[in-house]
Chains A and B, each alone.
Chain A
Amino acid sequence: MLPPPLLALEFTNLDWGIVIVYLGLSVAIGLLANKVVTGLSGYLVAGRHLGTALSIATMTGSELGLITVMYQAQKGFTGGFAALHIGLIAGIVTLFVGLSGFIVVGLRRARVMTIPEYYEMRFDKHTRVLGGTLLALGGILNMGMFLKIGSQFVVGVTGIETNMVAVVMVALLALVLFYTVMGGMVSVVLTDYVQFVVLSLGLMAMVFLAISNLGMEHIIDVSRAKLGDASFDPTHAESAFGPGYIAWMGVMGLISCAVWPTAVSRALASRDETVVKRQFSLSSISFMIRFLIPCFLGICAFVFLTDHGAQFFAKGSFILAGDTVKHDSIMGLPIFIQELLPMGVLGLITAAMLAAFMSTHDSYLLCWASVIARDIIAPLVPSQASDKRQLLWTRVFIVLIGLYVLYWGLVYKASQDIWDYLGVTGAVYFTGAIVVLTGGLYWKRASRTGARFALWAGLSAILGLGPVQEAVGLVDDAGVKLFQAHQIGLATLAFAICAMILGSLAFPDNNLPEEDAPKEAQA
């Protein structure tokens, strides 16, 4: 029997209705949250009233964003089953953090609201401002692609005109800005919970439908036929990964749960240290799933398009049978979903994906804006340090970062895999931060000079960005990059570790002037 034609299904009124109801619910949550949030603690860390189950829901909701779904699907689409190693490693590393309490328990014990705040407790104010600045820089660059990828998903799955991407971007952003500005962390937590409910059901449904439609053995056979043994073995010479990449995923797994501010902020908002450890141990399942399922769906999308006669080109780009438009590999999943899901379910899954999109945006906007207000402006301008002024500046920067993300989504031309882009931009912050946090919490001789050196060393990760490599001549005559993103990431991490050790040994914190001495964090 011939397979049905591609893109035969349409996004029906029922599907649109489900999506609109969901979006309306998000607005209602923003209004509700605004009524119960009064002070800065309520706005930034929900008054530290999160229980274990809600902590897991919000952490999963925040970290299992649409961008995660899209880039992991892209990895599965281009790399096959071998890409599943990313999820497996993430789960193992998160379980380690949960059982040991590595970094997160120390931060919760310090009762800080942001990571740079800890830098001031342990080192000094200047380290806090520097750390906050690099965190905001790396984090804001990191979320630069979120809006564009989210809009591409909406366009791909609903079938609306491609030139509507900009309109979709503005509409989605406006909605997220509204409820985040209104309710802060409480809005984020409530929308994350709703997202968790919808998305967990949606992901299970998608896996079930994908396997029942394609057949597990068929998926394996087609992957093997098209990509060979490299489709299963991440260490294979022809694999898209290799040992260096796997090592980098180990670092990324650790970072994304123990150092990445949006994940750590859930630890800081938790009721106590026991909740933190339990939260991270149980979240190891969702940290693994957030990579495994989208990756598997990407593999299914590849098999599905292969079955339907799609032609494939470099980096997984493809042309559908009977069509002339060349699609980027990132579009494989939305096209597959549109074909796979029946009426009504398509709307539910789209609502789940929009929920994933929004909950990641709100967490990131709140996190970076609060760091700018609390760790850059407040320490530098004492007149702006009151809770009321910090709350105001946080809201202002939520809007400003939103506008920047819109601009970046419109102008930046991605020349590398989304996951690699995220890894590189995140590394600007986290390669320095993990060294400073680990040194600060577990090495008594770590000094403020070593901490500052390590933070500056982390900035060199920006060399992993495609346009930066071209600008500084890190490409050969044929335009091929001399170093892969993960190689630069690992080198930056090694550089930051050396900078911390050498800086601390050469410039120990002896006889600090009183005004520069480490301080207790504000409650």
Chain B
Amino acid sequence: MSTETWILIWKVVLTTAIGAFAILSVWVIIFGFRDIKRMLRELRADA
């Protein structure tokens, strides 16, 4: 592959991955907090 093609590949990979991670981060931050509350509640129940 030519160098120009490699440059295009890395640009697409970086852009796509960072965009996907931004969406994932928002989802994990919101629902992760809910999971923490649930985990602590269940751990207290186990005790």
Contacts and interface: CB of A to CB of B under 8 A. Distances in A.
Interface stretch (A81-89, A250-258, A469-477): A81-89
B21 to A, nearest CB: 4
A505 to B, nearest CB: 43
Given A36-B44, A53-B31, A81 B7 contact: yes
A243 interface: no
A232 B14 CA distance: 13
A200 B46 CA distance: 32
Contact of A36 (B30, B31, B43): B43
A36 B47 contact: yes
Chain A interface bracket (under 10, 10 to 19, 20 to 34, 35 or more): 35 or more
A98 to B, nearest CB: 13
A49 interface: yes
A81 B10 contact: yes
Nearest to B43: A36
Interface string B1-45: 101001100110110011011101101111111111011101110
A94 interface: no
B8 to A, nearest CB: 10
Interface stretch (A189-197, A311-319, A408-416): A189-197
A196 B18 CA distance: 15
A278 to B, nearest CB: 12
A298 interface: no
Contacts of A84: 10, 13-14
B12 to A, nearest CB: 10
Among B20, B33, B43, which residue has the most Cβ atoms of chain A within 10 A?
A: B43
A196 B32 contact: yes
A88 B43 contact: no
A197 B32 CA distance: 10
A421 B47 CA distance: 42
B38 to A, nearest CB: 6
B3 to A, nearest CB: 5
A38 B11 CA distance: 49
B17 A288 contact: yes
A46 B39 contact: yes
Nearest to B33: A193
B26 to A, nearest CB: 9
A148 B15 CA distance: 33
A159 interface: no
Contacts of B42: 47, 49
A420 B22 CA distance: 29
A249 to B, nearest CB: 14
Given A42-B43, A47-B43, A296 B24 contact: no
B36 A190 contact: yes
A292 B22 CA distance: 14
Interface string A188-216: 01100100110011011001000000001
Given A81-B6, A87-B17, A286 B39 contact: no
B18 A193 contact: no
A276 B25 CA distance: 18
Given A204-B18, A220-B7, A282 B24 contact: yes
B7 A204 contact: no
Contacts of A56: 24, 28, 32
A203 B21 CA distance: 10
**Top-4 shortest CB links A-B:** A54-B35, A53-B31, A51-B35, A232-B6
20 contacts: A42-B43, A46-B43, A47-B46, A49-B38, A50-B35, A51-B35, A53-B27, A57-B29, A57-B32, A60-B28, A82-B6, A84-B13, A87-B13, A87-B17, A186-B43, A189-B36, A196-B28, A233-B6, A285-B20, A288-B17
Interface of B: 1, 3, 6-7, 10-11, 13-14, 17-18, 20-22, 24-25, 27-36, 38-40, 42-44, 46-47
Given A51-B34, A196-B29, A293-B18, 20 more contacts: A47-B43, A52-B35, A53-B28, A54-B32, A56-B24, A56-B32, A57-B29, A57-B32, A81-B10, A88-B13, A91-B17, A186-B43, A196-B32, A200-B28, A204-B25, A229-B3, A232-B3, A232-B6, A233-B3, A233-B6
